[in-house]
């Protein structure tokens, strides 16, 4: 952190980027860092591989985020001219799609700030801790180290968003440290009611109808009732006017079923089949996603993908997970 502090002692052109399908932690930690670095006087851009959900679009300066997928040339020029690139909430350049090539080809100093398991080495500096509840927790510690006085209400709200969403509203194994950080953010004036309403109580009618449809028509059990899964085809999504973020939280309903220790949501997107894995207890979906679905993440929350047909993807999942039937009965 001291080396990074020295580096940031002179003005830089900085890019902040985060993983594809950015979530609350990805956007919250990126905008917290963005709002802080512009206060320091740096020239900063946040570039994301694709769009992020509307329920995050109230965060201060979220309207300044550049979407690579529809501003390629502009993004590539900005990356080319940058001297420092922050990579937040991902640990492998494959997680930012084609943007990865431009970042890896750039001469800029690359800084990884992340909490996912087993990072690939593409960086010059790293702030990495798998015990952190969210990347926003690591960004908080970094900003505190740089200059605690610059952490204002807007920055605090962005950090809180990252911690809130990545801990499942403080439900997953959170530490006393996390609660102390949130205590500090509260003292900096954040409005918790407002943030929670913006994130969790601003669902569209279509989103709730899609959830209802998925739970009543698409939720299935397997492996003796220890596994639950939901498969949504492209047509299912189109029928419900799907927008980014509309399946957020859905997989957790599957995991909440009694005796279910692994849950999966499979979604057919235009390009590929996307998997969202969740587990409770000892079974590592990180290892499972790495082994069978080109993915990874955390022990109890991971993702992956496959470029194949939906039915093939489901068969592959059922076949792979049934090998663990003994391990899943706890
Ligand atoms: P989600 O299911 O919410 O999309 O993702 C759960 C966790 O797994 C997140 O921490 C996310 O960053 C990670 N993740 C999701 N998809 C992938 C993937 O395709 N590859 C890797 N390595 N991680 C993923
Ligand atoms: Mn995260």
- Is the pTM higher than 0.85? The answer reads yes
For ligand 2, a single-atom ion, the residues with CB < 5 A are 25, 89, 135, 166
Closest ligand by atom to 287 CA:
1
In this prediction, residues 162-186 reach a mean pLDDT of 94
Claim to verify: residue 124 and residue 259 sit in the same structural domain:
no
Rounded distance, CA 171 to CA 236, Å? 30
Digit-coded pLDDT (tens) for 95-114: 999 999 999 999 999 999 99
Claim to verify: residue 45 and residue 187 sit in the same structural domain:
yes
Claim to verify: residue 178 and residue 275 sit in the same structural domain:
no
Digit-coded pLDDT (tens) for 287-306: 999 999 999 999 999 999 99
pLDDT for 93 beyond 90? yes
Provide the domain limits for residue 70.
2-200
**Residues whose beta carbon lies within 6 Å of some atom of ligand 1:** 19, 92, 95, 116, 276, 295-298, 301-305
- The candidate with the shortest Cα–Cα distance to 61, out of 185, 161, 131, 139, is 161
Tell me, what CATH number does 269's domain have?
Answer: 3.10.310.30
| Domain termination residue (choose one: 200, 220, 244) | 200
| Domain termination residue (choose one: 200, 232, 264) | 200
Rounded distance, CA 311 to CA 315, Å? 6
The sheet with strand 109-114 has its strands ordered as 66-67, 43-48, 13-18, 84-88, 109-114, 125-128
Claim to verify: residue 192 and residue 299 sit in the same structural domain:
no
Phi and psi at 229, nearest 5°, equal -145, 155
Q: How confident is the model at residue 172 (pLDDT cuts 50, 70, 90)?
A: confident
123 neighbors 111 (Cβ within 8 angstroms): yes
Tell me, what CATH number does 92's domain have?
Answer: 3.90.1640.10
pLDDT of residue 29: 98
Claim to verify: residue 193 and residue 215 sit in the same structural domain:
no
Claim to verify: residue 22 and residue 133 sit in the same structural domain:
yes
Nearest atom of ligand 1 to the alpha carbon of 265: 2
| Domain termination residue (choose one: 181, 200, 219) | 200
Claim to verify: residue 159 and residue 254 sit in the same structural domain:
no
Digit-coded pLDDT (tens) for 181-208: 999 999 999 999 999 999 999 999 999 9
Gap from CA of 90 to ligand 2 centroid (Å)? 8
Claim to verify: residue 13 and residue 159 sit in the same structural domain:
yes
């Amino acid at each position: 952190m001291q080396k990074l502090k020295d580096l940031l002692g002179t003005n830089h052109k900085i890019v902040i980027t985060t993983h594809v399908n950015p979530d609350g932690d990805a956007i919250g930690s990126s905008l917290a860092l963005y709002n802080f670095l512009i206060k320091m006087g740096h020239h900063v851009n946040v570039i994301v591989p694709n769009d992020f959900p509307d329920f995050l679009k109230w965060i201060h300066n979220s309207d300044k985020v550049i979407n690579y997928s529809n501003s390629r040339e502009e993004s590539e020029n900005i990356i080319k001219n940058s001297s420092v690139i922050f990579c937040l909430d991902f640990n492998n350049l494959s997680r930012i799609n084609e943007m990865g090539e431009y970042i890896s080809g750039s001469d800029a100093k690359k800084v990884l700030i992340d909490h996912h398991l087993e990072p690939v080495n593409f960086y010059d500096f790293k702030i990495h801790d798998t015990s952190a509840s969210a990347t926003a927790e690591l960004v908080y510690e970094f900003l505190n180290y740089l200059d605690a006085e610059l952490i204002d209400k807007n920055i605090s709200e962005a950090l809180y968003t990252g911690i809130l969403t990545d801990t499942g509203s403080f439900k997953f194994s959170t530490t006393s440290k996390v609660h102390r950080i949130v205590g500090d953010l509260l003292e900096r004036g954040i409005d918790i009611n407002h943030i929670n309403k913006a994130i969790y109580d601003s669902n569209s009618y279509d989103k709730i109808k899609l959830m209802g449809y998925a739970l009543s028509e698409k939720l299935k059990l397997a492996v003796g009732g220890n596994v639950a899964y939901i498969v949504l085809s492209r047509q299912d999504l189109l029928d419900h006017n799907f927008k980014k973020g509309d399946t957020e939280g859905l997989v957790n309903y599957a995991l909440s079923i009694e005796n279910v220790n692994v849950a999966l949501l499979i979604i057919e997107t235009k390009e590929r089949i996307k998997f969202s894995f969740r587990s409770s207890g000892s079974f590592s979906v990180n290892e499972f996603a790495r082994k069978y679905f080109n993915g990874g993440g955390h022990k109890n929350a991971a993702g992956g993908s496959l470029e194949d047909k939906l039915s093939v993807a489901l068969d592959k999942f059922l076949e792979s997970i049934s090998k663990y039937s003994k391990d899943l009965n706890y």
